[in-house]
Amino acid sequence: MGQEGSPVSEVHFNDCRVPAANLIGGEEGQGFRTAMKVLNKQRIHLAALCTGPAIRMLDEAIRFVTERKQFGQPLAEFQLVQAMIADCQTEIFAARALIMETARQRDRGEDVTMQASMCKYFASEMCGRVADRCVQMFGGYGYIADFGIERFYRDVRLFRLYEGTSQIHQLNIAKRTLALAAAS
């Protein structure tokens, strides 16, 4: 569907022997815990990766609605178009704030398993909503290839799927929230 600059294929390991020295986590039984720690970092990173294209798409949409005129005035002067700009800008800011705060917590050595999930879940869904609004602001030109925004729309759809689907993150956030409530 998108991200054509990043070729994808499955990798199969058959009868693959891994030396004990290469055990993830260094000792038996620690592999999953160690892998999860890596996931936290990757999820914060992926959330930041979602925020970049959202900023770019909004920049492109703002340029377009400022230049294109309908009914004798730039699209940017219509309040319903301004509402889409405001929603995009607000959600981008919220994602950045969430990511920065989680990164600070991780740098302090805190357990950010739930926060990393919240970052990835919110930022990837936010990016999808921003992509949708930006296509809308481009009108019919948003749907055809010449203006480029449709490529972003396709590219960012993957963010909600890999590095844990939105549903898996919802489960993770709820599980940890309920555990915190039970412990308090």
Ligand X SMILES: Cc1cc2nc3c(=O)[nH]c(=O)nc-3n(C[C@H](O)[C@H](O)[C@H](O)COP(=O)(O)OP(=O)(O)OC[C@H]3O[C@@H](n4cnc5c(N)ncnc54)[C@H](O)[C@@H]3O)c2cc1C
Binding site for ligand X (CB under 6 A): 8, 158, 161-162, 165, 167-168, 171
Does 10 qualify as catalytic in the annotation?
Answer: no
* Phi, psi angles (nearest 5°) of residue 69: -110, 140
Q: Chain-centre distance of CA 162, in angstroms?
A: 10
User: Do 162 and 1 meet the contact criterion of CB atoms below 8 Å apart?
Assistant: no
Residue among 74, 64, 52 nearest 152 (CA):
52
Q: Cβ of residue 78: shortest distance to ligand X, in angstroms?
A: 36
Phi, psi of 70 (to 5 degrees): -140, 145
CA atoms within 13 A on the CB side of 179: 8
Q: By C-alpha distance, which of 73, 62, 79 is closest to 149? A: 62
Q: What DSSP assignment string belongs to 7-58?
A: -------SS----GGG-TTSSTT-HHHHHHHHHHHHHHHHHHHHHHHHHHHH
Which one of 60, 91, 150, 163 is the catalytic residue? 163
Of 7 and 140, which has the nearer Cβ to ligand X? 7
Closer Cβ to ligand X, 16 or 20, answer by number: 16
What minimum distance in Å lies between the beta carbon of 113 and ligand X? Answer: 17
What is the closest distance, in whole angstroms, from the C-beta atom of residue 83 to ligand X in the complex?
A: 30
Comparison of 34 and 165: residue with beta carbon closer to ligand X: 165
Query: Least separation, in Å, of the C-beta of 131 and ligand X?
Result: 16
* SS3 call for 86: helix
**Among residues 8 and 80, whose Cβ is nearest to ligand X?**
8
Residues with catalytic roles: 163
